[in-house]
Amino acid sequence: MSKKIRNNPLGINMDRRLFLKGAAAGLAATALPAAAEAFDMSAFLQKHFREMTEDEIKKVIARLEKEASLEWKKDIHISAAKATPGVKFGYGLDLSRCIGCRKCVYACVSENNQSRSPQVHWISVLRFKKGEKWIDLENSEKYYNPKQVPEKDFFYMPVQCQQCENSPCVKACPTQATWKEPDGIVVIDYNWCIGCRYCMAACPYGARRFNWSKPDIPANELNAETHYLGNRPRYKGVVEKCTFCIQRTRAGKYPACVEICPVGARKFGNLLDPKSEIRYLIENKRVFRLKEDLNTNPKFYYFFAT
């Protein structure tokens, strides 16, 4: 892990641990423990994403790109592509096909720059024993580890952010750091989140992840194609979660998990387009959504194709 201070207007380059020692010695004199962390005035005063003008967004992105390229020694691109009018994304997951291989989990990690240590996963694949009651999730197993999948006596249910239309997390957030975009994706401004974790308490689907420490991503594994509201590198102390791969889907591609799934259990498309595959599934298959009783109105549909 780099100990260099990230981007520091005064150009002071101080080893963090050294600084801490000094701080411990002269604790009383340290008026601002903030100095122990990379302190950048323009980052500190940065406005909420939705309050910035196009110009301001450009400036912020330029600064963030510079910071990131200093840290990972490679160029990274942060897009701020907007939602396409007439699009509302929806997801379908075929439970009759999923074999519990977790390929989606790891494709997501590398596409979306999740921390490798400690490991952060946006998708949880739950394993259930066939023949047992299952929908209350209490008897599910998240850390199953067989030699081979699928296993005879089990079935699997992947869970990720359900992109609720009526999202409890958005309602809970005290700073509006998380909100629903016009294309239905619930996003987070990682520069606005204060890390109170109220949204995590509010989410009924265990979808939100907190950066308990500084995320650790090896430079050679960093995905440099990012979106401001999606997979750009995150900070310690902020919340993150699945964004339907906003950087890909707003550019006309499928989410990484849809692409990787070896059995084609994952479907994705525009809910407003009557001819889309997702609409076909919803209208013709036996679909259900998780925890319907909470009235969160998810845009994530589970179904049985066979």
Give residues 48-77 in contact with ligand SF4 (rule: CB under 6 A). Answer: none
User: In 3-state terms, what secondary structure has residue 104?
Assistant: helix
Omega within 30 of 0 (cis) for the link into 262: no
- Binding of another protein by 9 (CB under 8 A): no
Whole-number Cα distances in Å, 15 to 20, 27, 41, 87: 9, 18, 19, 48
The answer to whether 153 touches 197, Cβ cutoff 8 Å, is no
Least CB distance to another protein at residue 90 (A): 21
Least CB distance to ligand SF4 at residue 294 (A): 9
- Binding of ligand SF4 by 196 (CB under 6 A): yes
Q: Which does 219 bind (CB under 5 to 8 A by kind): ligand SF4, another protein, none?
A: none
- Binding of another protein by 48 (CB under 8 A): yes
Least CB distance to another protein at residue 303 (A): 20
Give residues 244-263 in contact with another protein (rule: CB under 8 A). Answer: none
Residues 256-275 vs ligand SF4: string with x where CB under 6 A? --------------------
Q: How many residues bind ligand SF4 (CB under 6 A)?
A: 28
Provide φ and ψ at 287, rounded to 5°. -105, 155
Give residues 64-103 in contact with another protein (rule: CB under 8 A). Answer: none
Cβ proximity to ligand SF4: between 140 and 222 the closer is: 140
- Binding of ligand SF4 by 291 (CB under 6 A): no
Q: In terms of Cα–Cα distance, which of 200, 130, 210 is closest to 167?
A: 200
The answer to whether 235 touches 202, Cβ cutoff 8 Å, is no
Residues 160-179 vs ligand SF4: string with x where CB under 6 A? -xxxx--xxx--xx-x-xx-
CA distance 293 to 290: 9
Name the burial class of residue 64, with classes exposed (0-12), middle (13-18) and buried (19+) by CB atoms within 10 angstroms of its CB.
Answer: buried
- Binding of another protein by 286 (CB under 8 A): no
Q: In terms of Cα–Cα distance, which of 283, 253, 285 is closest to 268?
A: 253
Cα dihedral 192/195/201/203 (nearest 10) = 40
User: Which region, judged by CB under 8 A, interacts with another protein, from 106-114, 146-154, 220-228, 236-244?
Assistant: 236-244
Binding site for ligand SF4 (CB under 6 A): 161-164, 167-169, 172-173, 175, 177-178, 186, 188, 193-199, 203, 205, 207-208, 239, 241, 296
